[in-house]
Amino acid sequence: MRAVLALVLAASLTGVANPAQASTTDAAVAGSYVKVGYFTQWGIYRRNFTVKNVHTSGMADKLTHINYAFANVGADGKCFEANEAGVGDAWADYQKRFKASESVDGVGDAYNTPLAGNFNQLRKLKALHPGLKVQLSIGGWSWSKYLSDAALTPASRQAMVASCIDMFLKGNLPLIGSSVQGGPGSAYGVFDGFDVDWEWPASEGNTGNVIRPEDKANFVALLAEFRAQLDAYGAQVGRAFSLTAFLPADPAKIDAGIDPAVFGYLDFATVQGYDLHGAYEPISNHQGQLYSPAADPAPQRFSADQALQHYRAQGAPAAKLVLGIPYYGRGWAGVSSTNNGLYQTSTGPARGTYEDGIDDYKKIIAKSGPTFYDPVAGAVWKLSGTSFWSYDDARSIAQKTAYVKANGLGGTMVWSLDGDTATGDLTTAIHTGLA
């Protein structure tokens, strides 16, 4: 009976009328879903979130992949490391020596160790959790500026991919400054593949990004080059290397820059299921809603379901689509209590711990005020005084993981692990939902 009820619930969440039909789209076996979590390079600073926390929180046992954010690509179209604000943080990546109390295995980094920093901690994490894969994410919002140039020609694509493989898979990290960390092969074995976070091919992203209409075709060609070189290098060393990509939710950006041919080269693609709305808009709304309800005043009707269905309509295989879930919320200030703060005019972004308009899940749940859950939208929010916070909790995650299972999707991805609680409550909710 409980199995039948679960299918009925899944059908109701996805609009599938026939529970038997819904069951045919479930993943073949429990536990086959990918569960991806982004680890941010800069989380070790103000958030004091280290790789050790991924272990002590219990998250590592409940993830299949960690995406390390981010690697930068320079004006020459190649992957590189540097110690320059806004350009690169080699110190966090592989130079910082963690003390024993900060280290995953309780062993501090020696002064002359060839590899320290987050990379060495990730290597140690994998030793304790051998089923966990770690990918190096390239680009992101801030570092996608030159990806259009890197993808432009066969020669530029070959050079970019070769540089990334040399530095991060072969592990040939540069020696920078007076640090003794780095050198040939120093990071070999840390990364199991790449995650390409081009934000966005042929569409506006961060100010100053190079954008071309031909990015759509060149993105396919870039992934084909990655796949070819990864396979060739894998054959040399007897390993299989993974390739994934982070893709937009906005249908206009999908149409402009994402050819369904990309899925032929990817193990899977994570789809942005958040930042659908934010305090850059004047009206409070759900930032990560599963569905756009009838009352949604936004004309674009953004939702995770809208994005996923758009990919499906273009021919993307469901099993390669992975739903992105936020471990942070977006906040609007100065909203009225009408409709519990939802769809109300604001005075701007609410004050956040690290950035106005944004706060981590663990920070939001500590704020005062009532919380509300809309199962029609698949969304949660809190009205803290006159501040409206849109975020995800265990309730919306249960609905989203049911959606993943009922639609035969590949799994979930989260941005980012440092937003979860010290005991990994949200990661546990995903793990339970996809069991």
Q: Distance between CA 380 and CA 371 in Å, rounded?
A: 7
Q: Would you state the structure tokens that stand for residue 187, as one six-digit string?
A: 């990071």
Nearest to 71 by CA among 144, 175, 150: 144
DSSP string covering 304-363, please?
HHHHHHHHHHTT--GGGEEEEEESEEEEEES--SGGGGTT-B-SEEPP-SSBTTEEEHHH
Start-end of H helices in 57-208: 90, 117-128, 147-150, 154-164
Q: Is 378 left (phi over 0), alpha (psi -120 to 50) or beta?
A: left
DSSP string covering 356-411, please?
TTEEEHHHHTTS-S-EEEETTTTEEEEEETTEEEEE--HHHHHHHHHHHHHTT--E
Is 225 noted as a catalytic residue in this protein?
no
Q: Distance between CA 97 and CA 112 in Å, rounded?
A: 10
Phi then psi for residue 7, to 5 deg, are -70, -40
Residue matched to tokens 């990290």? 173
Q: Would you state the structure tokens that stand for residue 375, as one six-digit string?
A: 């199962």
DSSP string covering 155-196, please?
HHHHHHHHHHIIIIIS--BPP-TT----BTTTTTTS--EEEE
Q: Does residue 77 contact residue 159 with C-beta atoms inside 8 Å?
A: yes
The active-site residue, picked from 81, 84, 102, 199, is 199
Q: Would you state the structure tokens that stand for residue 148, as one six-digit string?
A: 């259009």
| Angle at alpha carbon of residue 398, lines to 394 and 404, rounded to 5° | 140
User: What is the β-pairing status of strands 83-84 and 88-89?
Assistant: antiparallel
Task: Give buried/exposed letters for 200-233 (b at 16+ CB in 10 A, else e).
Answer: bbbbebeeebbbeeebbbbbbbbbbbbbebbeeb
DSSP state of 44: G
Residue matched to tokens 């982004």? 38
Active site residues: 199
